[in-house]
Structure 1
Amino acid sequence: MPEMIFRVRWPDGKETDCYSPSLVIRDHFQPGEDYPIHEFLEKADIALTEASERVRVRYGFPCSRALGQLHAIRQAGAPFLNLSDAQVRILSFGF
């Protein structure tokens, strides 16, 4: 199963590499695009849950690394939830 790394820039300028066990991230995000924090978190939840489910279908168990990444994204995004103009930028996809 192809895995990928997607790099994001948080509203405070910090950049983070995020893991997905599947290329499904490309169905939800575009490099160079900005997403309001709430939309980014919602899309990340959908995409990483779907990626984990693909692993479960193929191997019989969910991807704990994808679910751990989702948890880390939620934690990293939490400080920005009350900022009405907070945006997350998808910088790149890597393989």
Structure 2
Amino acid sequence: MPEMHFQVRWPDGAVQHCYSPSLVIHDHLAVGIDYPIEEFLTHVRTALTLASERVRAKYGFACTSAAHTLESIETTAAQALSSAEAGTVRVLSMTPPSVAAATSKGRS
């Protein structure tokens, strides 16, 4: 099962490195997009839950790394939402890139 890493920047400028056991993140988030925190949480919860369930279907158990990533994101989001300047979360990168992003590199 292919895995991926993605980076996001929180409203305070902190960059968080995240893990998914599946490329399903590409179906729910896009690089270079700013998401209101609550919307970002909705997308990432859905994606990481699906990713974990894909691991369960293949190996018979859920992915604890996906659960840990989600817990870390939710903790950071709660801190950001409690601040005076909640703001948005920007998706900085996804590795590997989506097929569409990978095939469009270098095109004008």
Q: So what's the TM-score if we normalise by structure 2?
A: 0.84
1:77 aligns with 2:77: yes
**Unaligned stretches of 5+ residues in structure 1:** none
1:43 aligns with 2:30: no
Letter in 2 for 1:91: L
Match of 1:66 in 2: 66
Match of 1:86 in 2: 87
Match runs of 1:1-80 below 5 Å:
1-80=1-80
**Higher Cα radius of gyration:** 2
State the alpha-carbon separation in 1 of the partners of residues 30 and 81 from structure 2. 21
State the alpha-carbon separation in 2 of the partners of residues 84 and 52 from structure 1. 32
Q: So what's the TM-score if we normalise by structure 1?
A: 0.95
Q: CA deviation at 1:50?
A: 0.4
**Unaligned stretches of 5+ residues in structure 2:** 97-108
State the alpha-carbon separation in 2 of the partners of residues 70 and 80 from structure 1. 15
Query: Cα RMSD (Å) of the superposition?
Result: 1.2
Q: How many residues get paired?
A: 95
After superposition, the C-alpha distances for 1:64-94 in whole angstroms (9 at most, x for unaligned) are: 0001110000001112224575100000011
State the alpha-carbon separation in 1 of the partners of residues 50 and 85 from structure 2. 28
